[in-house]
Structure 1
Amino acid sequence: MEQKLLSRTVWVLSIVSLFADIASEMLYPVMPLYLKSIGFSVLFIGILEGVAQAAAGLSKGYFGRLSDRTGKRLPFVRWGYLLAAVSKPLLALASLPLWVFGARTIDRIGKGLRTGARDAMLSDESTPQTKGRVFGFHRSMDTLGACIGPGFALAYLYFNPAQYKPLFFIAFIPGILAVMLLFILKERSKPARADAAKSKYNFFDFLRYWKESPAAYRRLAVGLLFFAMFNSSDFFLLLRMKEAGLDDTYLIGLYIFYNLVYAFSSYPMGIVADRWGMKRVYFAGLGFFAMVYLGMAAGLQSWQYIVLIVLYGLYAAATEGIAKAWISNICAPQDTATAIGTFTAFESIATLIASALAGLLWQLYGPAVTFIASGLAALFVMVYLAFFSSSQVYQKE
């Protein structure tokens, strides 16, 4: 029975995400250090990441819509992971700002290329009763890579201090392994949409889906996007703990520990979501988030941050994969990549707003107000979603 719940395609896509995330997260703690070593200012690093994230967000909507229109999935996934893999060594080949911008943007466009199509493939491999565990298992394997990657980078830098460039070439290895694994999968042929060849398609065409989508999709997306506008970068959590007196080693250890909690609880959360409903598990996740952020507003001792990090890992496991599973249940199967791509495009923009808002509140009123605002926003979304039908599943009109 379990083999039916987790098909060969789900396993392959999950292992691909594991390798790809090892490659990406291997560079996560190194990237700002490397950029500063080649002359990038903090402001320039911020602009670089802002442009890269915007490119990723908008391209998710574009390529998700294109995948649905053409009826193709696997080419988008393969090219997406290939671009991400190739971008790693490109970053280390030259230090010219324009070159670094280009390489980083290629990486993020690769993410945009693959996200909607890959999630649609996962959705096709599940039923409304098994969506939670399928998406949860995928998130679990993906996040496991976020534990292995930084761990390898820390071990490498321990023996090779400040030798950053070789890591970019090493990261290419798991990245290209991810691409090679995808060639054992075969495309499930689907007919292109009837309107695919009749109308012109532009970069922002995915925005039309907002009007075309089911009302339930829009109601759910409004709540999730409002929450995203207050869910700032994890950088602020690390900064708060740093200001509380935690040293760098302790902070990096907490980051890896958070990813371990996230990785090992995502699949169980998915199983619970299938049994008890997406809404209840997502609700619990928002509750964990509120506790973490309201807790961060207070002055805490070192051991108390460990408790908050455990709750934060449970929050991520109860929301990220679950949100996509919930959306895929509500939208039409032929629109899955568009629905998820459109949501994640808006979510990327909302996340940028969240980080800017958090930075502004921090500067004007201090960290306590920043975290209280985010905690209260999560509680507000819980109230909003209380009126959303937990049994809502797409019905053909």
Structure 2
Amino acid sequence: MPEARTRPAHSLRDIPGGVWALGFVSMLMDISSEMVHALLPIYLVTVLGTSMVTVGVIEGIAEATASITKIFSGALSDWLGRRKWLAALGYGLAALTRPMFPLAPTVGWLVAARFIDRVGKGIRGAPRDALVADLAPAHLRGASFGLRQSLDTVGAFAGPLLAIGLMWLTADNFKAVFWFAVVPGFLSLALIIFAVREPDRPAGLRKVRNPISLSEIRNLGAAYWWVVAIATVFTLARFSEAFLILRAHGAGVPLTLVPVVLVLMNVVYALAAYPAGVLSDRINRVNVLAFGIVVLIAADIALALLPSLTGVALGVVLWGLHMGMTQGLLATLVADTAPPELRGTAFGFFNLLGGLAMLAASVMAGALWDRAGPEATFFAGAGFALVALAGLLAVRGRTKIGRIEPK
């Protein structure tokens, strides 16, 4: 069994300034994005008169575009040997789309804006995560990814809350709220340009000629691919949070209050991510991840067997706790196991396969919900989580997963 690590105690002040800056960059862009995305489906249907099918097509194309783009942007950052300006390009594209949403005269313009926005997300994702890994010392890597994840999640619940407040203040003026979303988007771009300094490329680091060639894919190593395989199976258990909203509504939560479900989940998520990262720097990361999977199983059981408001609230809190304990940690494990010169490519494959697994999980969850009810959906999620847990425990101690070399 891997030995527990003993490290000097550290605080938030020990986290590199570049990691802090990237966390705030993510938070500001998430605020901007969620202010738009929280209202866009309703705007499309009630103001522009589009069908639900059109909304589904737009969202499907948008998310598929982001997932596919990540693999190429990550590989490009490895080939260039630089990451900051590629990430800045992604944030810049997203910021430039913000004025398109209030100005768009037709659905076609909104489709174009959503598409470009997701291209920007795909471009920035893998280089940004690889840059966090480059900036963070090995003994602070878990805390660094946890901090970035916490700040990012603050944006995920602050954006919808701002959108709700601004809709109330502006008497449901969608376009006014979309204009407000422009501000944090451009602040995010300015912050990554002026506040993030990319570290120098280590002397002697191997130059990568073709990051997505078969030979380089093999160079990622067995430990990395074990992490990706376990994460992919685990994602099959972690279907869209839309099903949490449906479960809450079925338990009696009024339509006007169902957004509170995601706010509650994301608050717990944000509060848990950094402490989980710190804990993973103290002990073997696999142990923390395994406990996070157990928490997801408990959440699924609560959501399946306790359909009351109290039961749903418990399930949502546990869901947010598992997210905080696993999402930043999985990114940390990618950084731990991938060669430094291939980190961009590693995050690209990790995000691509995770995105495809999320799509498959949500389709399966919806089919089970329609055919056998919500209980079947959440029990299936618990089953996939058990498979992921079994795979994780099977490789613990056989590879370097979860361990870190002495400082």
Same fold? TM cut 0.5:
yes
Q: Distance in 1 between matches of 2:179 and 2:306?
A: 42
| Residue of structure 1 equivalent to 2:293 | 286
| Residue of structure 2 equivalent to 1:270 | 277
Q: Are residues 363 and 7 of structure 1, via their aligned partners in 2, closer, same or farther at CA, if it must alter by over 3 Å?
A: same
Return the match for 1:247 from 247, 254, 272: 254
| Residue of structure 1 equivalent to 2:30 | 21
1:323-381 CA-partner distances (Å, limit 9, x unpaired)? 00011101111111110111101111111111111111112222211111011110121
- Superposed displacement of residue 254, structure 1: 2.6
Write the letter of the residue equivalent to 2:100: L
Write the letter of the residue equivalent to 2:359: L
Tell me, yes or no, if the aligned pair for 1:70 and 1:193 is still in contact at 8 Å: no
- Verify: 1:12 aligned to 2:24, yes or no: no
Tell me, yes or no, if the aligned pair for 2:157 and 2:266 is still in contact at 8 Å: yes
Q: Distance in 1 between matches of 2:269 and 2:109?
A: 34
- Verify: 1:34 aligned to 2:43, yes or no: yes
Q: What TM-score comes out, normalization by structure 1 length?
A: 0.92
| Residue of structure 2 equivalent to 1:147 | 157
Write the letter of the residue equivalent to 1:27: V
- Superposed displacement of residue 159, structure 1: 2.6
Q: Distance in 1 between matches of 2:214 and 2:112?
A: 26
Return the match for 1:102 from 112, 116, 119: 112
Return the match for 2:142 from 118, 132, 149: 132
Tell me, yes or no, if the aligned pair for 1:92 and 1:165 is still in contact at 8 Å: yes
Q: Distance in 1 between matches of 2:65 and 2:246?
A: 26
Q: Distance in 1 between matches of 2:317 and 2:239?
A: 18
- Verify: 1:387 aligned to 2:398, yes or no: no
- Superposed displacement of residue 214, structure 1: 0.2
Deviates more, 1:354-363 or 1:87-96: 87-96
| Residue of structure 2 equivalent to 1:260 | 267
Write the letter of the residue equivalent to 1:22: I
Q: Distance in 2 between matches of 1:171 and 1:86?
A: 11
Write the letter of the residue equivalent to 1:173: V
Q: Distance in 2 between matches of 1:105 and 1:207?
A: 30
Write the letter of the residue equivalent to 1:87: T
- Superposed displacement of residue 173, structure 1: 0.1
Q: Are residues 194 and 333 of structure 1, via their aligned partners in 2, closer, same or farther at CA, if it must alter by over 3 Å?
A: closer
- Superposed displacement of residue 248, structure 1: 2.6
- Superposed displacement of residue 318, structure 1: 0.6
Q: Distance in 2 between matches of 1:209 and 1:48?
A: 35
Q: Distance in 2 between matches of 1:237 and 1:173?
A: 31
Q: Distance in 2 between matches of 1:385 and 1:294?
A: 21
- Verify: 1:120 aligned to 2:127, yes or no: no
Q: Distance in 1 between matches of 2:207 and 2:166?
A: 53
| Residue of structure 2 equivalent to 1:83 | 93
Q: Distance in 2 between matches of 1:209 and 1:228?
A: 25
Q: Alignment length, in residue pairs? A: 389
Q: Distance in 2 between matches of 1:124 and 1:281?
A: 23
Tell me, yes or no, if the aligned pair for 2:207 and 2:341 is still in contact at 8 Å: no
- Superposed displacement of residue 312, structure 1: 1.2
Write the letter of the residue equivalent to 1:130: L
Tell me, yes or no, if the aligned pair for 2:261 and 2:316 is still in contact at 8 Å: yes
| Residue of structure 1 equivalent to 2:196 | 185
Q: Are residues 118 and 364 of structure 1, via their aligned partners in 2, closer, same or farther at CA, if it must alter by over 3 Å?
A: same
Deviates more, 1:181-190 or 1:227-236: 181-190
Write the letter of the residue equivalent to 2:152: D
Return the match for 2:384 from 374, 377, 382: 377
| Residue of structure 1 equivalent to 2:343 | 336
Write the letter of the residue equivalent to 1:376: G
Q: Are residues 209 and 321 of structure 1, via their aligned partners in 2, closer, same or farther at CA, if it must alter by over 3 Å?
A: farther
Deviates more, 1:56-65 or 1:287-296: 287-296
Q: Are residues 389 and 84 of structure 1, via their aligned partners in 2, closer, same or farther at CA, if it must alter by over 3 Å?
A: same
Q: Distance in 1 between matches of 2:62 and 2:206?
A: 31
Matches within 5 A, 1:58-73: 58-73=68-83
Write the letter of the residue equivalent to 1:157: M
Q: Please, which runs of 5 or more residues in structure 2 have no aligned partner?
A: 1-9
Q: Distance in 2 between matches of 1:306 and 1:149?
A: 22
Q: Distance in 2 between matches of 1:81 and 1:247?
A: 36
Q: Distance in 2 between matches of 1:209 and 1:367?
A: 43
Tell me, yes or no, if the aligned pair for 1:22 and 1:146 is still in contact at 8 Å: yes
Q: Are residues 206 and 80 of structure 1, via their aligned partners in 2, closer, same or farther at CA, if it must alter by over 3 Å?
A: farther
Q: Distance in 2 between matches of 1:4 and 1:347?
A: 32
Tell me, yes or no, if the aligned pair for 1:227 and 1:377 is still in contact at 8 Å: yes
Percentage of matched positions with identical amino acids: 32
Q: Distance in 1 between matches of 2:260 and 2:393?
A: 36
- Superposed displacement of residue 28, structure 1: 3.1
Deviates more, 1:329-338 or 1:228-237: 228-237
- Superposed displacement of residue 89, structure 1: 2.0
Tell me, yes or no, if the aligned pair for 2:233 and 2:387 is still in contact at 8 Å: no
Return the match for 1:359 from 334, 351, 366: 366
Q: Distance in 1 between matches of 2:156 and 2:215?
A: 34
Deviates more, 1:282-291 or 1:318-327: 282-291
Q: What TM-score comes out, normalization by structure 2 length?
A: 0.90
Tell me, yes or no, if the aligned pair for 1:244 and 1:299 is still in contact at 8 Å: no
RMSD: 2.1
- Superposed displacement of residue 124, structure 1: 1.3
Q: Distance in 2 between matches of 1:290 and 1:359?
A: 19
Q: Distance in 1 between matches of 2:208 and 2:21?
A: 32
Tell me, yes or no, if the aligned pair for 1:232 and 1:351 is still in contact at 8 Å: yes
Return the match for 1:321 from 328, 332, 339: 328
- Superposed displacement of residue 259, structure 1: 1.2
| Residue of structure 2 equivalent to 1:346 | 353
SS at match of 2:253: coil
- Superposed displacement of residue 394, structure 1: 8.4
Q: Distance in 2 between matches of 1:83 and 1:238?
A: 31
Q: Please, which runs of 5 or more residues in structure 1 have no aligned partner?
A: none
Q: Distance in 2 between matches of 1:60 and 1:7?
A: 25
